[in-house]
Chains A and B, each alone.
Chain A
């Protein structure tokens, strides 16, 4: 049996709407049933161990932090600050969306939480000020992709767990690309707003600015604690995630006093859904990966990529492949299925694993806003009540902006590796 058949079987199962985790487990079971002497218990054993690692424990806590920030009024405070900072520029609310997402990115690590939190308030606000609903949706979804690029980041934790690299280096590597994404989106939002005559907010008085700064000051400590803690090596990512969640809880419950006990059930539900759906796939990827390895898939795939001798050609080919896949598949699934297969090829071409990791994570995040399948696209389309076609038309330029950043960091590795090298130099 050739490796191509595994992927064809996997894609067929996926097309049939079988949950991604069971597509992978199913292929592994089929492989064993069709002529391998290995007992089927191996699949179970690998699924359990694939879902078990202390690093992965960071995921529920980063989700928890994001949910608690939305429920406890932290998100709104940050929005107020962003409004005072960039609201008076033409297309003000569009930039407020981007900047809020950039600040939230420093705390939550989950694009879905960022997107729901900012979108549910800022999309209606933009529509009230006569922005086109589809544009409001597009800028919110594309801005939310910054969440997992500026650290902390759930996909980066997953990548680091898969290829066994340092989470701290990954986090540091995402910082500059994330800021670039924000700047590109602000520039694109500005040009579009200029041409369409979208409004700006009144310039805030110094007093108003200081009030919003004071309101959000405690919230701004959170990225300092979380990132500072991880980058200085004080906390493990999991511990930092715990601290972030506790801090968000304390802010919402005791400082802003907006977190009601009733909301906690909704928060718990979001966390459990977010954790279980992703970790189940990660678990199922383990027996699937075993099948691929026993058929020497990475070696065969390496042969397919062999004509691409230069690292940049290899990276370009992988980027195009992932962007196309990203239109049809869910982001984390792509990451989980392909990262372990691609990593050896990339490593033998001498490409740095932190660099590759940030490129891949940014790439699959773009997949969350490209139709026909994309989780962030679904969320904002529902909030703004626009169709996917309308969304796609407006999301075109912002997405081009994200792809431009992707190309930039692909071909100029320093954008990614400079900061981690600076921080983690011996």
Chain B
């Protein structure tokens, strides 16, 4: 039931051969980090099940750590979604438009999304300052490190939306390529 790159002409990850090294490094760093977090999550939660049912002595910290990892996966993964255009969007209107108006609509939609994501990123960093030095009960990990997932993810997303927006503005009118979630043309950055 979840989002999947269904129905859209999914741009293949890494297919943009002309990508600047900066984006390539950023993309792979993010992916590697996300996969590692997922593996860690699987290990930690399995450990919880194991200690509880097999050893009959559950660790107190596994649930807390699992939730922290989950927070990071969600917000870092959200930034990763842009690459495969898998954010859940309602794209009937975009699909039904001619290439010209579609591009304008995408520009507007990117502008709005960029401002929302931008505000969230800035306010996210602000929240970190307010959070201060409070720590998690079981592991004593400062909450700042957990909540940091939010502004970091949002900043990465803002960066990508800005780049896509520039690409949209620079690109000539597309020749009828079916547009999906994000900008159809790969920006020549």
Contacts and interface: CB of A to CB of B under 8 A. Distances in A.
Interface residues of B, number: 61
Contacts, number: 211
A74 interface: no
A217 to B, nearest CB: 23
Interface of A: 13-22, 25-26, 29, 40-41, 43-45, 47-48, 51-54, 56-57, 60-61, 63-64, 110-112, 116, 147-148, 154-155, 235, 238-239, 242-243, 245-246, 265, 268-281, 283, 328-333, 365, 368, 372-373, 375-379, 381-382
Nearest to A381: B7
Given A16-B112, A29-B116, A281 B181 contact: no
Main secondary structure of the interface of B (DSSP, over half): helix
Nearest to B80: A272
B106 interface: yes
Interface string B67-94: 1001101111110110010111111111
Contacts of B93: 15-17
24 contacts: A13-B112, A17-B90, A20-B88, A21-B88, A29-B116, A44-B123, A48-B71, A48-B147, A53-B67, A64-B42, A112-B4, A268-B39, A269-B84, A273-B4, A273-B77, A273-B84, A274-B2, A276-B73, A278-B88, A279-B74, A283-B74, A332-B1, A368-B1, A375-B7
Nearest to A377: B7
Main secondary structure of the interface of A (DSSP, over half): helix
A281 B45 CA distance: 24
Given A29-B116, A274-B2, A277-B81, 4 more contacts: A19-B181, A41-B127, A44-B127, A329-B90
B156 interface: no
B41 A60 contact: yes
Nearest to B7: A378
Given A19-B113, A48-B150, A378-B6, A271 B81 contact: no
B90 A15 contact: yes
A285 B27 CA distance: 28
Contact of A277 (B39, B42, B88): B88
A83 B127 CA distance: 56
B1 A111 contact: yes
A364 B139 CA distance: 40
Contacts of A265: 35
B105 interface: yes
Given A19-B89, A328-B92, A331-B1, A271 B38 contact: yes
B90 A373 contact: yes
Contacts of B94: 17
Contacts of A52: 67, 70-71
Contact of B42 (A29, A54, A245, A382): A245
A112 to B, nearest CB: 5
Contacts of A243: 49
A375 B74 contact: no
A25 B116 contact: yes
A332 B2 contact: yes
Interface string B35-51: 10011011001101100
A275 to B, nearest CB: 6
A73 B123 CA distance: 46
6 closest A-B pairs by CB:
A378-B7, A276-B77, A277-B3, A378-B6, A19-B87, A274-B2
Interface string B2-15: 11111110000000
